[in-house]
Structure 1
């Protein structure tokens, strides 16, 4: 069993409580207008076996306080997602938060198969016309669904409006010099950063999708 992987990063501090292991799936069929992760839409070229990935994650899991899965769209690779969730649950007691652009209602068959494996799910497509005033969500139409007792314990406090401490982003640097942001930026933060860096003479390309 393989999955199309975009990237893995530790620690991530802006997508759930504590120092988290972040796993981004590659490929998305939803492609919400305004998405800041348009680089994860395509199928990608990095395919990794679930067993191999879990082995690579082992040192980080030993230090992490939680796991966040995003993308891309994890549920577009549901067999691989399910296998990864099973492996994570067997190897670690950490809470697992999953982001999806599908509605909770659409995902009911998959969630039944993954019962007990996802502690919290942020569902529904990003809507750039909606307000952005809730913690962990890019737009207020998105829902934080607490699916297990551990999910309630770890993430119930995020059922609230944004606070100043939420206005933070993690920066990740790849070997090729690419810079990635993890977190929930305010509208057009990426484009403002691009313009600032260009004004200082840097060459910049962003993956923020605009009409």
Structure 2
């Protein structure tokens, strides 16, 4: 009887191991384990960061899949977006996103900004152009511009620039889980696969607690 129980345990362990390996998610392949982990924004929660740029077509295409996934995340996971700023229009768009967050309207107009650039073919390359567009979304033009140029927003811009450097990203969209694991759509194998990697790493961090 003892041998039968032991055999059953081994069989279950084998099945579990096969399931885990079937996912094929490994460091150095689908994701990179960072040598210098970055502190999370909300201690005690598992953080998932997406680094993006409004002008990036891949980021725009990823949005519907990412949005649907993020809305179903459990309470112990904190998802947030961080704009990548590599100079020029990247910096303008990054500062716009931070401004919209500071105004509390990011969730309301985020998709509209993406759509205006990629479907409406609007450049929105300056804060003034962005302000003119945002009026159509119910955002006060002068309040947007004053917030855009505020000390608080400029301070957050510098923090996000340093954060992207700490993550050592080279392109977007890139995702980082708990400041420890970095991956992108290319390394993961596509949008759906990227979120499978995110789920895998979230569970990995949850199990380590």
> TM-score over 0.5 for the alignment?
no
- TM-score of the two chains, using structure 1 as the length reference: 0.27
Bigger proportion of residues as helix:
2
The structure with the larger Rg is 2
Greater RCO (Cα-Cα under 8 Å, separation 6 or more): 2
